[in-house]
Structure 1
Amino acid sequence: MQVLENGLSLREILPAEQQKFSDKDKAWIQQMVFGVLRQLPLLQFWMRQLLEKPLKGKNKVAEFVILLGIYQLAFSRVSTHAAVAETVSACQSLKVQSLKGLVNAVLRNFIRQDLATHTPDNAQIKSGLPNWLYKQVEQHYPEKLGVLVDAMHQQAPIWLRVNQRQITVQDYAKQLSEQQVEFSLSAEHAEAIILPRAGDITQLPGYQQGWFAVQDGAAQMAAALLDAQPNERILDACAAPGGKTCHILERQPNLQECIALDVDQSRLDRIAENLQRLQLNADLLCADAASPDKWWDGRQFDRILLDAPCSATGVIRRHPDIKWLRKAKDIDELVQLQSKIMDAMWPLLKPGGSMLYATCSILPKENHQQISAFLQRHKDASLGATTQHGDPPGRQILPGESQMDGFYYCMLLKSQ
């Protein structure tokens, strides 16, 4: 309800709720909340057939109770009796006890009418995506529509990036084997280990010693593409939570300077925590990448990583609330902000330097169309060899590709 009615992200609100419960219940809470948000259009389609009219005011919470009950009945292994009984009893603690009868009747009608077997003809409802996003995916990826929709609803694996300044991948794999942790190695990422199931990361071997960080395979490509060299000055713009900053430092310990920039101090604090745990050092700067005139000292950088603010449509499988927090109108605002930051960063780059543009979006407006517009504005910019040339420029990774999140990269070179 806080996500859908109040626009809050699960990242803000879910951990605090989970802290009140056992590990087993924490996992169940996440499974249920993620499940409802993944299947929301279908759950609402069923609910509308069972509720005579929408609930309003303080009674609105009962609609969310019903959605949770229907999700359990249709998609979980919870017994029918428990799903109905516990969902109805939740009305008491949520102070809508007068609606117990209504909730009970709706759930029993769902079972009696066998609505779980009634799927709508509407492809958008079946997709689990909001209408605006479904249309975008359908327009830009018509041949991959079904595969993409499925990938956006799969539970994502946990990717670890082994900190090779502390331990080798082979030695860390041995540690996991000894603790009987199920994993696989990545064929494409030398520093990666993939865990098929989620769990308490802090209980894995070497967490406190900084032997690994959690970072999706697509995000792990950034440091390799940037390819920082000894004695260079590097800027990681929009750096939080710091995974890419840390990876740059792990790969290249002999930098002259690495500045991690973010506009949000609390997010900068997370970078500091990650650096400390991984035993790495960078200069942290709380400032706005779009306004370098307020903080830049005039010394240009050899390389800039710009992981731009974006729609995050490539990481919906990890964060299903994104589907409902993002609105169609947000995209144009994000495109303008990305463009503003890119233009602001370009003068900070040395002639002959390189800027790696990245987003965790699958929308062309934020990605290759953004790059094409930038190349039109900046005649001293050209495409780097690390991303495919031609039309469209850059590399678009789609959700599920080699088990990775959706991501986009494009290397821009500044002429000498």
Structure 2
Amino acid sequence: MSTFGNFFRVTTYGESHCRSVGCIVDGCPPGMELTEDDIQPQMTRRRPGQSSITTPRDEKDKVLIQSGTEFGITLGTPIGMMVLNQDQRPKDYGNATMDKFPRPSHADWTYLEKYGVKASSGGGRSSARETIGRVAAGAIAEKYLRLAYGVEIVAFTSSVGSLHLFPPTPEHPSPSTNPAFLTLLQSIDRQTVDSHLPVRCPDEAAAKAMVDYISDFRDRNDSIGGTVTCVIRHVPTGLGEPCFDKLEASLAHAMMSIPATKAFEIGSGFGGCEVPGSTHNDPFVSAADVAVPSGVAESGAARTNTPRPKLTTKSNFSGGIQGGISNGAPIYFRVGFKPAATIGQEQTTATYEGNEEGILAAKGRHDPCVVPRAVPIVEAMAALVIMDAVLAQQSRERARSLLPPLKR
């Protein structure tokens, strides 16, 4: 389906080479200042044509709010947003070879099997062009979360191919045991991430190596995958809907819905499976001495009458979630992206009818590595999950507050 969320519902529309793409956001709280200027920065970070290691498709991705606001204030009604496709080239896909053969590892064949018809150019809805609506909606969710709770969401490139920002070692099979990684999660911000363009890895030496690595694949008409790590700080406690909509399950659902994703891990992840429970457990400690982030007490906890948690954890192998519910510690996870399926090299494949083998060299403009442009998409989907969980919890807390106090 093309709709995500229960309380903060986002429906995206559009194909890779149609006239426009966008979304409708339903459930945004009324009374929040909102203009295109709040949304455009993330759209610009996601747009193609940013560097020599991204697709050269030249789209400015200027967003237009069409409904749901008046005089720059949200009305509580559905917010419609649109971005025109200005540099679409369906002719790049309209040739006899590409009409005859499905692209290896692409969605051409599966879409045809499911719907009985498929978009003839650019992958249609399976294209990363669809994520424009997600990023626009995520920017709205993120602004509310920042104003109401002081939530901060930052993602960055953590690996490309075999190059890792924090390589696994016998001592640190998971980055969650590496003090340098944990320190980075506490302080990383988007300005630092974007200062290491075009790859968005927050380390100068690693970023340079990754750019050279991707450039080599680009020059060979090939592609390479990698991972994005995301941290969400200052998340309210109590978010998540056990048993089937646990917060990490919702995050996994969101991340695995992004095009080209192949893996998701939260907290210590797979590396945490290699350490004993005596090491992996997160001891609880008093939160009394933990500093409140600037602005949160005024704009968040005080406004919602939500008391600060009494406890926090000494370590954070859990990744900020226990029992499917946020515990107030930073939530962090990693998303794996495969190499882009469409490459310029000749590849063997079969016709749609399966009665003939042939050679396909795909045309068009494609990313040699999708990871740098996936960073704002991961942030957007994280914001949508937390926003939906916040509205669910607000509803529960409000309903509970109307009951007489329990006798202890």
TM-score by length of 1: 0.23
Higher relative contact order (CA 8 A, sep 6+): 2
Greater share of residues in helix = 1
- Structure number with greater Rg is 1
